[in-house]
A and B are shown apart, each in its own frame.
Chain A
Amino acid sequence: MAHSVALLQPHGVLAKRLPALVFYLHRAQEKLTTNWFGGAGYGEALTAWFRLLLTICAVGCGAAQAAPGQVSSAEAVYASAPPRLLQIRTLLTSAGQQTSNGSAFLVSADGLAITNYHVVSQVIFEPNTYRLEYTAADGTQGDVHLLGVDLPNDLALVRVDKHDAPFFAFDAAAIRGDLTKGERLYSMGNPLDLGFTIIEGTYNGFVDRSYNERIHFTGALNPGMSGGPSTTAAGEVAGVNVATRRGGQLVSFLVPARFASALLQRVRDQGPTSDLRAEIGRQLAAWRTALYKSLGEQGFRSAAFGPYRGPEPVAPWFTCWAQTNSGATPKPRADLNTTNCTSETSLFVASDLNIGNIQINHYYARSSDLNQFQFANYLAQLSQARLTGGGPYKKWYTPERCHEDFVGAAAADRPPLRVMWCAQAYREFEDFYDVALIAITQDDGREALVSRMSLQAVGYDDAMALGRRFLDTVRVSK
């Protein structure tokens, strides 16, 4: 699915990153993942998020017989695929032209097909502006009816007007999660609208640090292939093309087949969802409740920063990076050590909204040359309360409101804190808030720990409970 021009023009981004990737092959922190919203607003950061999530769409491919002699597996798989693959276009109703496109694959004889949620999301939020249309390999076109979605796994089930067409079966080993690392997978779709294509790649198990289960597929997925199937050599679906990582090489992601199979089963058992917009709200609420419950249960470990201790997340789906300014020239007037922990939990909700990101940062600063006033100003620059929004403010959020005070507890190792709490609500979803909590230790005029926790799409009570524990973990030993 082609989200936007920016999304589909990777050349500039690739060119910029190339020197680093060519010469230094160790993994470097991706600046894009820690983009804070500056004064300019939500736009930039949103673009940054989208750079991460390159969506792909395509049409699937067929079963493969054992290849006789010179016929490769890919040839065999592709030979039978085209009638089972679809291209899904989102059309602007008024203009009749596509605004984005993706892929889908048939999973039943009566025209049920699986695609990505993000391929069809525009129609759900703005049904009067957009409509869906499919194109099959034989050139036939027709309407697409949405039957159900699985938003956390970026899947949608649709019905197209096809009867007695061949369709894909799900691979039993993939459903069980039993595929062998290194196994060949064949991804199909319509990359960049160039025509139905098959891509050979390797199954690499599940992505380690992702909260949502995703298959790491080493293969060149491209925009337009989203929603296409990835099959085994036997032509049975192991996953659904969903995303690729910009700045990586052939690093692509699939939604495991078992979620697609479950969605199909659910719609067959319970019938199509009547109000998809309300259903999205319910799925998001359930998803984020589980996410913050998991964060709460796994809790925080106490990490040392100079004489201070601050909370760092334990959950495995955080990626943490540390930085220092000690090597800077000219020599900084305060020493600053930074750690940033970012969760790999961001979820596509709409073409301009991603939610579920959690960030926990610590800045340990010690003045070398600044007086107490200058150091306080330095800390103020580090601790401006900025919420990490996942979409344009006016469309999705209420204004940010903040509360600020000194907080302390009667214990020797609990430094007094200057605490800021900022919150904004989501307009579309009930009891969804973005919250930022910042605590600055107030026990010393020349050194301090600035701790920040930013939670997206959290329930207010969950946020307060997590906030209390967060503040509780800030300690000092002197």
Chain B
Amino acid sequence: MIWVEILSRHRDVAARVRVMGEEASIGRGYDNDVIVDDPYVAAHHLRVFRDATGALIAQDLGSANGTFADGVTGRISHFVIDGGQPIRIGQTLLRVRAPDYSVEPERIVPAERHRLPIVLVAAFTAMLLGLVALRVWLAQTGEPRLSNYVTPLLLVAGIILVWVGIWALLSRIFAGRSHFVSNLLIALAGFLASLIYNEVARYAAFALTWPAPSTYEYASAWLILAVVCFLHLRAISATRLWLKGTIVAVVLVIAIGAQTLQRSEAFFDIGRQNTARLLLPPAFRAVPARAPDGFFADVAGLRVSVDADRRKARPGEVVH
């Protein structure tokens, strides 16, 4: 007895045929044991039989398109089947197994569901929504209004659900399982990381008078987004991670480069830096106030950049 399995592109079993006897013929013709409806397959394409030692052998019957081991280039005409390696004929993937093929041992069902991911999801959600609400509250200098909270909270929740939904769908398509909780955890953690970065950058800009983290906040947002995408891809399947990582990194570099260019051009178009100046309570100041002499020495240094701008000709300008 021989089992011949026709696999989908994702290597799932699409059909399974039991051939009684020690030999199976595979092809498009109706006189075969296993009929494959693939126009690229020959009428009599492949023969599977046992040799003198009892091993299963696949033999190409002289098809025009040939027979291949999955993932290996170079046609083969006669080879030993191990039951694991799929075989490609035409555009169809096959797997041939003998009844004595040893399957993996049974997986043990966990005694109870893992609590940790659920707890993490709840904690991250609470932190995220709490942080958003806190920001709204601290920025509220006009009349307090409940709707000021509702809109951003719903917006954040909506964005996360749509994002996670898309990844769960992709995961379902390509991995067969949606991994909803993992995807949700990844998205929540990413959102939370960018919010926390934002707050730290604001603190540094005011308390340390170190505006760089705030100026390059867009780069950190792209970086976090790239890491999130990579983790989502890994959740779908942990194969070819180097390829996924490379693609995400390339997209990241392009995005940061494009936005840096856009910001630099906007600076000369608008005439001012695109950074809001922020203040925090005076108690947050973490550096000593500078003496006026030091401050005005820096201000004198600023003149150099301003004068350098003046010497740059504008596009299309004829300097007088």
B-contacting residues, A401-424, CB 8 Å: 401-409, 416-421, 423-424
Q: How far is the CA of A421 from the CA of B290 in the complex (A)?
A: 14
- Which residue of A370, A400, A421 contacts B271 across the interface (Cβ within 8 Å)? A400
Other A-B contacts than A403-B298, A425-B306, A443-B282, 12 sampled, CB-CB below 8 A, are A377-B139, A381-B141, A397-B271, A398-B310, A401-B305, A404-B277, A405-B290, A407-B290, A420-B277, A442-B289, A445-B281, A445-B283
Docked-complex contact B292 and A373, CB < 8 angstroms: no
- Are A405 and B141 closer than 8 Å at their CB atoms? no
Interface-located stretch among A220-228, A252-260, A464-472: A464-472
CA A393 to CA B266, docked complex, whole Å: 13
Interface presence of A17 (CB below 8 A): no
Q: Determine how close the nearest CB of chain B comes to the CB of A307; give it in whole angstroms.
A: 15
Contact partners of B269 in chain A: CB under 8 A: 394
- B307 CB to closest chain A CB (Å) equals 6
Query: Bound state CA distance, A472 and B296, in angstroms?
Result: 13
Q: Mark B237-278, 1 if CB is under 8 A from A, else 0.
A: 000000000000000000000000000000111111100111
**A residues lining the B interface (CB < 8 Å):** 41, 277, 330, 333-334, 370-381, 383-385, 393-394, 397-409, 416-421, 423-427, 433, 440, 442-445, 460, 464, 467-468, 471-472
Q: Are A383 and B279 in contact (CB under 8 A)?
A: yes
Does B212 belong to the interface (CB within 8 Å)? no
Bound complex: CA of A394 vs CA of B266, how far in Å? 12
B114 located at the interface, meaning its Cβ lies under 8 Å from any Cβ of chain A in the complex? no
Tell whether, in the assembled complex, residue A408 and residue B289 are in contact, meaning their CB atoms are under 8 Å apart.
yes
Residues of B within 8 A of A41 (CB): 270-271
Q: Which bracket fits the contact residues of B?
A: 35 or more
Instruction: Please name all residues of chain A whose beta carbon is closer than 8 Å to the beta carbon of B276 when the two chains form the complex.
Output: 380, 384
- Bound state CA distance, A472 and B141, in angstroms? 30
Given contacts A421-B302, A468-B296, contact A407 B277 (CB under 8 A): no
Max chain A Cβ within 10 angstroms of own Cβ: one of B137, B138, B299: B299
CB within 8 Å for A445 and B271 given contacts A385-B277, A406-B290: no
CA distance A374 to B134 in the complex (A): 11
> Could you tell me the distance between the alpha carbons of A440 and B300 in the complex, rounded to whole angstroms?
21
User: How distant is A434 from chain B, measured CB to nearest CB, in Å?
Assistant: 10
For the complex, what is the distance from the CA of A67 to the CA of B271, rounded to whole Å?
61
Q: Which residues of B contact A378 (CB under 8 A)?
A: 141
Complex interface bits, B283-308 against A, C-beta within 8 A gives 1, otherwise 0: 10101111110011011101101110
Q: List 5 A-B contacts (CB under 8 A).
A: A379-B279, A380-B279, A406-B209, A409-B291, A464-B300
Q: Which residues of B contact A423 (CB under 8 A)?
A: 302-303, 306
- Chain A residues contacting B320 (CB-CB under 8 Å) are 277
The CA-CA distance from A372 to B281 in the complex, in Å, is: 5
Whole-angstrom distance between the Cβ of B198 and the nearest chain A Cβ: 15
Determine the residue in chain B with the shortest Cβ distance to A384. B277
- Given A408-B289, A423-B303, A464-B299; A442-B309 close (CB under 8 Å): no
The reply to whether B279 and A398 contact each other, CB–CB distance below 8 Å, is no
Does B83 sit within 8 A of A, measured CB to CB?
A: no
User: Which residue from B138, B142, B270 sits with its C-beta under 8 Å from A373?
Assistant: B138
Query: Given A330-B143, A409-B292 in contact, is the A460-B285 Cβ separation under 8 Å?
Result: no
What is the distance, in angstroms, from B233's C-beta to the closest C-beta of chain A? 39
Contacts of A379 in B (CB 8 A): 279
A-side contacts of B298, CB under 8 Å: 403, 405
- B107 contacts A by Cβ under 8 Å: no
Contact among B287, B291, B292, B299 for A403, CB-based, below 8 A: B299
Asked if B148 is at the interface (CB within 8 A of a chain A CB), the reply is no
Rounded to whole Å, the gap between the CB of A214 and the closest CB of chain B is 32
Task: Select the residue from A372, A399, A402, A423 with max chain B CB neighbours within 10 A.
Answer: A399
Contacts of B291 in A (CB 8 A): 407-409
How far, in angstroms, from A383 to B292 measured CA to CA in the complex?
Answer: 20
Residues of A within 8 A of B270 (CB): 41, 393, 399
Residues of B123-177 whose CB lies within 8 A of A: 137-143
Does the CB pair B139–A374 fall under 8 Å? yes
Q: Which residues of B contact A443 (CB under 8 A)?
A: 282
Q: A385 — which chain B residues lie within 8 A by C-beta?
A: 277
B141/A468 in contact, CB under 8 A: no
Q: Report the bound CA distance from A433 to B307 in whole Å.
A: 10
In the complex, A417→B292 CA distance in Å?
10
A419 to chain B, nearest CB (A): 6
Q: Contact partner of A377 among B141, B273, B306, B307, CB < 8 A?
A: B141
Q: Complex formed: what's the CA distance from A378 to B137 in Å?
A: 13
Chain A residue nearest in CB terms to B134: A373
Q: Is residue B211 contacting chain A, with contact meaning CB distance below 8 A? A: yes
Minimum C-beta distance from A266 to chain B (A): 25
> Known contacts A409-B292, A471-B292; is A401 also within 8 Å of B277 by CB?
no
| Minimum CB–CB distance for A449 against chain B, Å | 13
| A372 in complex: contacting residue of B267, B283, B310, CB < 8 Å | B283
Cα of A377 to Cα of B280 in the assembled complex, Å: 7
B113 contacts chain A at the CB level, 8 A cutoff: no
A334 touches B141 (CB 8 A): yes
Pick the contact of B282: A277, A402, A419, A445 (CB < 8 A).
A445
Alpha-carbon gap, A372 to B137, bound state (A):
12
Q: How far does the Cβ of B115 sit from chain A's closest Cβ, in whole Å?
A: 36
Q: Is the Cβ of A402 less than 8 Å from the Cβ of B273?
A: yes
Contacts of A376 in B (CB 8 A): 279-281
Kindly state the separation between the CA atoms of A433 and B299 in the bound complex, as whole angstroms. 13
Q: Are A425 and B283 interface neighbours, CB within 8 A? A: no
Q: Shortest CB–CB separation between residue B167 and chain A, in angstroms?
A: 35
CB-CB nearest in chain B for A393: B271
Which single residue of chain A is at the shortest CB-CB distance from B211?
A404
**In the bound complex, how far is the Cα of B73 from the Cα of A229, in angstroms?**
97
Contact flag A375-B281 (CB < 8 Å), given A433-B306, A467-B296: yes
Instruction: Give chain B residues whose Cβ lies under 8 Å from the Cβ of A383.
Output: 277, 279
Instruction: Tell me the minimal C-beta distance from A289 to chain B in angstroms.
Output: 17
In the bound complex, how far is the Cα of B141 from the Cα of A171, in angstroms?
61
Contacts of B300 in A (CB 8 A): 460, 464
How distant is the Cα of A150 from the Cα of B140 in the complex, in angstroms? 53
Identify the interface centre among A333, A373, A375, A416: most chain B CB within 10 Å of its CB: A373
Given contacts A383-B277, A401-B309, A427-B310, contact A444 B299 (CB under 8 A): no
Q: Could you tell me the distance in whole angstroms from the C-beta of A310 to the nearest C-beta in chain B?
A: 16
Q: Are A418 and B299 in contact (CB under 8 A)?
A: no
The reply to whether A404 and B141 contact each other, CB–CB distance below 8 Å, is no
